[in-house]
Amino acid sequence: MSALVSERYPIPKTQFLKKDFEAHRWENVEPILLELEARSLGNAGELEQWLLDRSELDAQIAACASRFMVATACKTNDKEAEKTFLDFQTGLIPKLKPIDDRLDRRFLACPFRQELSPHDWHIYTRGTELAVELFREDNVVLEAEEEERTLEYGQITGAMMVDFQGETRTLAGMAHFAEDADRDVREQAWRTTAGRRLEDRQQLGQLFDDLIQLRQAMAQNAGYTNYREYKHLEMGRLDYQADDCLVLQDNIEKHVLPLLHEMDDARRRHLGLKILRPWDFAVDPRGASGFKPFANEQEQIAIGATLLGKVDSEFEADLYWMAEKNLLDLATRPHKRGGGFMDTFEDVRHPFIFSNSGFTHGDVETLVHEGGHAIHSLLSRHLEPVGYRMPPLEFAEVASMGMECLAMEHLEAVYPPLEAKRCVIQSLEGIVRSFAWIATIDSFQHQLYADVEMEESGRQALWLKLRERFGSRQDWSGLEEFRAWEWQRQLHLYEVPFYYVEYAIAQNGALQVWELYRQNPVETIKKYRQGLALGGAKSLGDLFSAAGLVFDPRGEKLAELMASVSQAWQKAQEED
Note the residues at the interface with Zn ion (CB under 5 A): 400
In 451-499, which ranges are continuous DSSP H helix? Answer: 456-470, 480-484, 491-495
Sign of the Cα pseudo-torsion (343, 69, 173, 472, in order): negative
Q: Find the helix or strand (DSSP H, E) in which 351 lies.
A: strand 350-357
Q: Is 307 helix (H, G, I), strand (E, B) or coil?
A: helix
> Whole-number minimum distance, CB 484 to Zn ion, in Å?
29
Q: Which is nearer to Zn ion, 17 or 311 (CB)?
A: 311
Q: Is 489 exposed, middle or buried (0-12, 13-18, 19+ CB in 10 A)?
A: middle
Contact 438, 510 (CB under 8 A): no
Nearer to Zn ion, 244 or 343 (CB): 343
Nearer to Zn ion, 208 or 395 (CB): 395
Query: Coil, helix or strand for 354?
Result: strand
Beta carbon of residue 317, minimum distance to Zn ion (angstroms, whole number): 22
Nearest approach, Cβ of 393 to Zn ion (angstroms)?
A: 8
CB environment 2-11: b (16+ within 10 A), e (fewer)? eeeeeeebee
Q: Least Å distance between CB 343 and Zn ion?
A: 11
Residue closest to Zn ion (Cβ): 400
Peptide bond into 385 cis (omega under 30): yes
Minimum distance between the CB of residue 341 and Zn ion, rounded to whole angstroms?
7
User: Between residues 400 and 440, which has the closer beta carbon with respect to Zn ion?
Assistant: 400
Secondary-structure percent of the chain, ordered helix, strand, coil, rounded to 5: 70, 5, 25
What element of type H or E holds 167?
strand 167-170
- In the complex, what is the shortest distance from the CB of residue 506 to Zn ion, in angstroms, rounded to a whole number? 8
N- to C-terminal Cα separation, the chain: 46
Interatomic CA distance for residues 177 and 167, integer angstroms: 13
- 194 CB-near residues (< 8 Å, 6+ apart): 479, 482, 486
Nearer residue to Zn ion within complex by CB, 239 or 394:
394
Q: How far is the CB of 283 from Zn ion (least distance, A)?
A: 25
Q: Which is nearer to Zn ion, 300 or 400 (CB)?
A: 400
Of 448, 453, 450, give the one whose Cα is nearest residue 487: 448
* Residue 60 or 400 having the CB closest to Zn ion: 400
Other beta carbons within 10 Å of 118: 9
d(CA 279, CA 517): 34
* CB of 249 or CB of 400, closer to Zn ion: 400
Distance CA 464, CA 452 (A): 18
Give me the least distance between CB of 201 and Zn ion, in Å please.
28
Contact criterion met (CB below 8 Å) for 149 and 211:
yes
- Shortest distance (Å) from residue 370 CB to Zn ion: 7
Q: Which is nearer to Zn ion, 154 or 372 (CB)?
A: 372
Least separation in angstroms between residue 493's CB and Zn ion is 17
Between 400 and 427, CB nearer to Zn ion: 400
Q: CA 248 to CA 252: how far, in whole Å?
A: 6
